[in-house]
Structure 1
Amino acid sequence: MDELLRARLRIAEGADLRLKALRLFMSTVDMFNRTVTGQSFFALRETEQVLTELDGRTGAALVRALLAMNGGTRITAHGLSNIPSRGGVVIGSTHPTGTFDFIAHAGVLLDHRPDLKVVANREAERFLGPDCIIAVDLDRNDTVLSARQTRAGMKAHLQAGGALLVFGSGRVPGMAGGVLVEPPWRSGITRMSAACDAPIVPASANMRNSHHYYRTRKLARILSGGNEDFGRTVASLRYVSELLAKLGGSYDVHYGPVQPAGTSPERLQHLAEGLIPGLYRPS
């Protein structure tokens, strides 16, 4: 768990006092929240218990173990036939909740495409394992430090005929007026698919985070003087808590008609968000 916290908040090795202070703060908030509401806020203790139960599982084994917890999580796929059963393909998805987005997609895609890999922050590698991830290294300002290596990994996987899951914006959306507002999608999907002549399938999962997440994000943004990045970073401490809260539920994932290689990010975002009417702010 310490490694996940270090990666999430960019806490340098050796900054043990800062890490201990963070754990104390999170534990205190959890204890208070359990007393008042009966639920943890950051779920630090629960997360460590789950990590112990997972016993070092990664990749497909981890996904299946997580989805079997709490009586089983049901993921229903719509449009799975739109994803080719073989050959290089990019699956460009919205990113509604954080870590659980990959778990939900992988729950239905791994049987269809056992070669699935996801492009995700390096911190996810500590959780998902190195075999199913193409890692992205970020600095404190979310600037990509590993662009060349990440692009090389994506290209090699697609050229080998693999399936690649990419979250278009790379960021979990906020909420405004009761609907999600995802940042503009980056151009990486478009450029990589064009370079590898790989078709793109727009995708979206019909779910969102709890009110606690959005309230935390809003409060942190206000206290920081309107810094949206700071608000998102603070709220991201709830990602695992949000994941655990979803286990045992039922969710739908949607895959749209295949699009030509090089389709613009604006078009892909419009198509992906449109798969679930009413979840996203109309673009």
Structure 2
Amino acid sequence: MTSCMQPASLKPVAVRRLVLLAAAVLFAGGPAEGAEGKKPLPEGKPKAASVTPAKPAVTSKVVVQEVTSEQLRQAVRTYLERRLKGKAEEVEVQILNVDEPVTVAPGILEVRVKGRGLLENFGRRLFDVALLVDGREVRALRVLAEITVLADVVTVTRTVQPQETLEAEDLTIARLPLPGESHDFLTEAEQAVGKRVTRPIRAETPVRMSSLAIPEVVHKGEDVTIEFKHGGLLIQASGTSKMSGHVGQPVTVLNQDSKREVRGIVVGPGVVRVEF
């Protein structure tokens, strides 16, 4: 008869050891808490990168002041008004080449137009302008401007032909543009009254000094009175003028009595005085 052997009963201590051994084998490859006690991140969630906050950018604000086209216009106008004082009634200025403001450093600003030579013609002109801050020149500009200068001048009320003599009723005053700083337009009617016109003058146009002459009161070939004066002695004789002339002009006359030519000064209509 064959007998079978029964395994011996396990003691409780041995059972606990087996359980611990099985647990160690089961969890040998698993994650374990680090030596410093830090818990591992859950699988599939990457660790966020550390970001240092950026410092705010520091911007430096540059302080400047602007010089506008209007300031340049006023400066050029003031310069011309001072220069033309007593010669013009109105000055108009339009800046042509400065649209955007010009920037300079802050401080006490002065816009100064530099003096130039004679302004022979108005209209489109270039001006040298200096920008000064606190008395020091910081920028130089070349400013192109359209200039119109108006003045009260003498004009004629009708078209006048050469050799005519102007009377008060032929003249009037009108405000018109001047051609340039140097001109010969008359500004007072009294300057033209009694003058002889040497070239045609159209109605409502300015009267120029160069278009007038003092009227001739002695004419070539006409009979004149010759006055010979010495101290308080005055002798008159008849003569013939060899040339035309106005009062105060020297002329040559022929003494009809002596048939000799003498030189004298025109002192009035038809009268030539000879000093001796």
TM-score by structure 1 length?
0.20
- Greater strand percent: which structure? 2
Compare CA radii of gyration and give the structure with the larger one.
2
- Which structure has more RCO (C-alpha within 8 Å, separation ≥ 6)? 1
- Greater helix percent: which structure? 1
TM-score by structure 2 length?
0.20
